[in-house]
Amino acid sequence: MDEKPKSKQNPLICLPGQRLCPSDNTYTSGQGTYERQGYIYSQLAGYVDIVDKDKVKVVEVHSKGEQTVVPAQGDIVTAQVNLITQQFCKCFIKCVGDTVLRRPFRALIRKEDVRATEKDKVDIYKSFRPGDIILARVLPITEAHTYQLSTAENELGVVIAHSERGHRMVPISWTEMQCPKTFVKEPRKVAKVVPENINQAEDKEEFKSVQE
């Protein structure tokens, strides 16, 4: 059933699997749609929208309450560590870049992907602990239900961690964090978090104390 997309006054409501229009030079499939055998079909139940991009009309389908952001290969994600073993570390992806996800995605960090150097001498217990918040990069997707992450860069690793007593720890080097109340040091793979605007940060006292 062919339906040419209507104007915004009469928005076209479509169902999943509904054929929208033929896919040719004027119309291409956008988010919420897919192309099959020369036609554009809808993936979601919602409103059809046409967006003009580079002299081509992109057909999109938007549904209410959807979140279309999904971790893709190469994205920097924020995850919380759930379980550690000798071989790997399981975590939940909470945010992709700046977007907070509505539901967490399961992810796995293998022992070899924790660091860039000395990969075989990694001790997961000295890099992550359950409850830590980490920054990681998504690796090429191989498994069906879990993402593979890597923290093998200076800017990736543990950002927020709590000590065994429950106090938030302060990073003191790339491999250690210290509890401010009990002064106990705990080993972690710490992320090198750089302030977004270095010039602005120079005025802040925190940056001055780090430099000292």
Residues lying near another protein in the complex (CB under 8 A) are found at: 84-86, 124-125, 129-130, 165, 181-182
Quick one: 84 or 93, whose CB is closer to another protein? 84
Kindly list the distances between the CA atom of residue 75 and the CA atoms of 26, 92, 104, in Å, as whole numbers in the listed order.
31, 15, 15
Quick one: 68 or 182, whose CB is closer to another protein? 182
Query: Smallest distance, Å, CB 165 to another protein?
Result: 7
Quick one: 129 or 189, whose CB is closer to another protein? 129
Q: Give the strands of the sheet with 56-62, arranged side by side.
A: 13-14, 46-53, 56-62, 27-29
Query: Smallest distance, Å, CB 190 to another protein?
Result: 18
Query: Smallest distance, Å, CB 125 to another protein?
Result: 6
Quick one: 16 or 130, whose CB is closer to another protein? 130
Query: Smallest distance, Å, CB 84 to another protein?
Result: 6
Query: Smallest distance, Å, CB 130 to another protein?
Result: 5
Query: Smallest distance, Å, CB 177 to another protein?
Result: 15
Kindly list the distances between the CA atom of residue 196 and the CA atoms of 120, 201, 212, in Å, as whole numbers in the listed order.
33, 8, 20
DSSP string, the chain: -------SSSPPEE-TT-EEEE-SSSEEE-TTEEEETTEEEE-SSEEEEEEEETTEEEEEEE-TT-------TT-EEEEEEEEE-SSEEEEEEEEETTEEEEEEEEEEEEGGGS-SSSGGG--GGGT--TT-EEEEEEPPP-SSS-EEEE--STT-EEEE-B-TTSPBPEE-SSSEEE-TTT--EEE--B-----S-HHHHHHSHHHHHHH-
Quick one: 58 or 108, whose CB is closer to another protein? 108
Quick one: 43 or 82, whose CB is closer to another protein? 82
